[in-house]
Amino acid sequence: MSNQPTPAWNIRHAYIDGAFVPVHGERVVESVNPATGQVIGTALLASREDARRAIAAAKRAQEGLWHASKDERIAMLRRLQAAVLAHTDRIRDVTIEEYGGPLARARWISQYASQCFATAADALARHEPVRRIGEATVLMQPVGVAALIAPWNSAAGSICSKLASALAAGCASVIKPSELGPIQAQVVAEALHEADLPPGVFNILLGSGSDVGDELSRHPDIAKISFTGSTATGKLIARAGIDTMKRVSLALTGKSASILLDDADLAHALPLAVNAAFMNNGQACVAGSRLLVPRARMDEIAGRVVAIVAGMRVGDPRDPDTHIGPLASRVQYERIQHYIGRGLAQGAALIAGGEGKPAGLDAGFFVRPTVFANVRNDMDIAREEIFGPVLSMIGYGDEEEAIRIANDSDYGLQAYVFTSQPERAQRIAGRLEAGTVLINRIVPELLAPFGGVKQSGIGREFGVFGLEAFLEPKTIVEDN
């Protein structure tokens, strides 16, 4: 008999048509605290039939939303904001307990979850839905029922941010959080329910990608898919959606480069560059996992990076002094081990961390923050998204080569430039193949469009661009 305690969470419901209703899937997933390896809950996944019920509820709610005024939608967003704000602490706590997010990160996600409704309400308030172009009147109208498919690495943030943009545009939605974060999804659903919106305006069901996700991607009553996740899954969704010509926004894999220029202030830049790589335990699409440094100074800079990493504390994510918590799952732990092994096998120089668990942290899915120096951009660790705290330092000769290496990637989500010359930074930013470039900082501007170029995605989220991703122009021209 197992000596594990009885799981505290036993989720058997989805949120459909304004109520928590039983689901009818066959698969039960376990939720594991990644810091301890203990099972903390189970969830029965929804079935395709449950997904169809959720789509039908959203379709009914869409009838009301076609005609909802701007003020009515703003009021709904404000109610969602207040409801989620009231649950900030619960969201923070489950982000730590189920996901292993370090306290500061979990706190940020929990605050962002409510703030994004306020941001969407502000964007909507300023948005002009009717435009005159030549002799035409152009109406920006909601595209219709949206499927919002989210990943596990920022569960509450993704769910709320997508819902905020969809609702601001006047789209009812069916939300499919990742089945790898069932407790986080449940806590967010309970918070959103308290906003008391009309039934069906949003529906939330946990299901696996191959059935519920696939159903959402094919169903004729879904007009739009907003997906965040891996590039491989994004391609499946885009293919599945094309038969019914769904509009798709795909926020996908990243392999971001941080360019450290020869004139950068290292004392300022290097801690930021290391944080860019290791933020969110390295499980961030925007992780700056390739650090490009002047080749002639590789040894000097590597030494400073090692010192910074040595000062980063790995451990209990509840502890405010912890920088890096556990990876989210055993699968993630093994993935990181695989990539560290690939780096070693392909001849990169291991200068910090390495395979195995940090000393004294045997129970959970902790990994050693790892840095490789003298990495070539054709090595697997430089080409593929690792999604853990593994940094690859790559040398370059001059600015041109730095830009070429940064752009030599299938992906193009976010890039970082560190320099003391603003004009040089702007010039380089203009040439980088990335949806976002951050200069001497790692904090984004959340009102500005966010998304990827190349295989990092299609479309943009956040602010007015996020709102317009759920709108479609209708042109009306009258003979006069």
Contact residues toward ligand NAD (CB under 6 A) are: 149-154, 176, 178-179, 208-210, 213-214, 217, 228-230, 233, 236-237, 251-254, 285, 385, 387, 413, 452, 457
Taking the least distance from each CB to ligand NAD, the nearer of 15 and 396 is 15
CB of 413 to ligand NAD, least distance (A): 5
Is the Cβ–Cβ distance between 192 and 166 less than 8 Å? Answer: no
Q: Which residue has the tokens 């500061």?
A: 104
Considering the complex, state which of residue 119 and residue 419 has its C-beta at the smaller distance from ligand NAD: 119
Question: Least separation, in Å, of the C-beta of 465 and ligand NAD?
Answer: 13
- Residue 447 to residues 120, 370, 461, Cα–Cα distance (Å): 9, 33, 9
| CA max distance for the chain | 82
Specify the residue, 170 or 412, whose C-beta has the smaller distance to ligand NAD: 412
**Alpha-carbon torsion (372, 375, 381, 382), positive or negative:** positive
Q: Is 249 exposed, middle or buried (0-12, 13-18, 19+ CB in 10 A)?
A: buried
Give the pairing of strands 411-412 and 414-418: unpaired
Write the DSSP assignment of 21-60 as a string of letters: EE---S-EEEEE-TTT--EEEEEEPPPHHHHHHHHHHHHH
H-assigned helices in 282-398: 298-310, 330-345, 380-383
**DSSP designation for 461:** B
Residue at 137: amino acid letter: T
Closest to ligand NAD by CB, 50 or 316: 50
Which residues are bridge partners to 226 per DSSP?
A: 148, 249
Give the residue with the Cβ less far from ligand NAD, 78 or 383: 383
- The nearer residue to ligand NAD, 157 or 294, going by C-beta atoms, is 157
Residue 150 or 164 having the CB closest to ligand NAD: 150
We find the least distance from the C-beta atom of residue 391 to ligand NAD, in angstroms, to be 16
Nearer to ligand NAD, 212 or 373 (CB): 212
CA angle 34/37/39 to nearest 5° reads 100
Burial of 42 (0-12, 13-18, 19+ CB in 10 A): middle
Shortest distance, CB of residue 125 to ligand NAD, whole angstroms?
25
Q: How far is the CB of 255 from ligand NAD (least distance, A)?
A: 9
Residue of minimal Cβ distance to ligand NAD:
209
Nearest approach in angstroms of CB 165 to ligand NAD is 13
Report in angstroms how near the CB of residue 213 gets to ligand NAD at its nearest: 2
107 CB-near residues (< 8 Å, 6+ apart): 92
CB of 286 to ligand NAD, least distance (A): 7
